[in-house]
Amino acid sequence: MTKHIGILTSGGDSPGLNAAIRAVGKGAHKVFGTDIVGFYEGFRGLMSNRSIRLGMGQLSGILTRGGTILGTSRDKPHKMPVGGKLLDMTDSMVETYRKHQLDVLVCLGGGGTQKNAHLLAEKGLNIITLPKTIDNDVAGTDVTFGFDTALGIATEALDRLHSTAHSHHRIIVVEIMGHNTGWLALGAGLAGGADVILIPEIPYNVEKVAAAIRSRSRDGKRFSIVAVSEGAMPLDLAAKVQVLLEKKDQAKGKERRKIKNHLTELRSHRSEHTLRLTRRLERLTDLESRLTILGHLQRGGAPSAADRLLATRIGSACIDFIAEGRYGIMVGVQGQGTVAVPLEEIVGRRKTVPIDHPWIRSARQVGTAFGD
């Protein structure tokens, strides 16, 4: 039976997106004998019907390419910037879906995309999502594609910084992406031999971080590498955020929005937090300190072999679920297999690092400090 399939990429760009698009497109051609329809720039392209038919020619040669051939945006269906206003444009997206006579829309993205796709599913559209993000924080899956590539880039950066740190008696603070979870900083810090790893799940005491560095100096170590997740917070700030989160859960209406805006403001100055940390460590240790912010470098370049394999596996599984008529799901990864995870089970959830995770235990075992 022929299936008409639409596809879009939403949220931040991530290595492996093109590999996943290729897997869905080639799988659709083989199983259903049809090309898929790609929508440009995420949900905005779906709203405005900016699309392209992705035949075998368009899918050729994209496996190794970074980014996404469809482009992406962070626009939300129910809060779309139009004419200087935020409007609910879900009805326009439903109209585009009907116009193309789609049987299913495949949405590639992180946690925000899962939530936005679920809104369309509630409007009656057949939706399947594929989990991508370098942050590895999507619930319902062991891993997201994009994470392995970013992990390798961050680890290589730490490797390179070791050589310059070793040449000077200084502290190198490296800010690593990850949003509000520490998977990327923890993995790169452990693989790259960081002496201190700071992640959102373990609020840190800067005095204890400084003490760990001074201890290394007394032992004759001429440098220290501090890997900091962009969402890591000192104890006092983490306490403020926790109080606001608890208030937000109980608040409604304007009060809830006010608290949410306050939380966004606190978290929006992440680079300032890391800069203040760097300066405080210099004062507390009397060691020259330097800050390196890796930023979007971690998202760029060709996907790793592991991410190409993962994206292809997930894309291929997506075709299997379409053939079975299973919709309203995310294609999750469990071990070497894939599973259909109902969207309502993952919307609003985030996969954080358990404080007893094996990576944390291993890091502590080799002497890595977490500032707690």
Average pLDDT score over residue span 89-118: 96
Is the pLDDT at 308 greater than 80? The verdict is yes
Could you give the CA distance from residue 260 to residue 20 in angstroms, rounded to a whole number?
34
Q: Which of the residues 35, 75, 103, 135 is marked catalytic?
A: 135
Q: Which helix (H) or strand (E) holds 225?
A: strand 224-229
Amino acid at 86: L
Give the tokens for residue 48: 């405005």
Task: Report the pLDDT value the prediction gives residue 46, as an integer from 0 to 100.
Answer: 96
Segment 218-247 mean pLDDT: 87
Q: Is 135 a catalytic residue?
A: yes
Residue 256 binned pLDDT confidence (cut-offs 50, 70, 90): confident
**Taking a C-beta distance cutoff of 8 angstroms, is the pair 184, 154 a contact?**
yes
Average pLDDT score, the chain = 92
Task: Kindly tell me if the per-residue pLDDT of 251 is higher than 80.
Answer: no
Q: Is 15 within 8 Å of 88 (Cβ atoms)? A: no
238 or 205: which carries more pLDDT confidence? Answer: 205
What pLDDT score was predicted for residue 268? 65
Residue type, 113: T
Residue 312 token pair: 């292809």
Domains observed in the chain: 5-145+303-345 (3.40.50.450), 150-299 (3.40.50.460)
Which tens digits make up the pLDDT trace of 141-200?
A: 999 999 999 999 999 999 999 888 877 788 999 999 998 899 999 999 999 999 999 999
Closest by alpha carbon to 310, among 109, 60, 23?
23
221/181: higher pLDDT:
181
Long-range contacts of 257-266 (CB under 8 A, 24+ apart): 266/237, 266/240, 266/241
Give all strands of the β-sheet with 288-293 in edge-to-edge order. Answer: 196-198, 224-229, 170-176, 288-293
pLDDT digits (tens, 9 = 90+) for 124-155: 999 999 999 999 999 999 999 999 999 999 99
Residues 6+ apart with CB under 8 A from 203: 232, 233, 234, 235, 237, 238, 239, 372
User: For residue 43, what pLDDT band results from cuts at 50, 70 and 90?
Assistant: very high
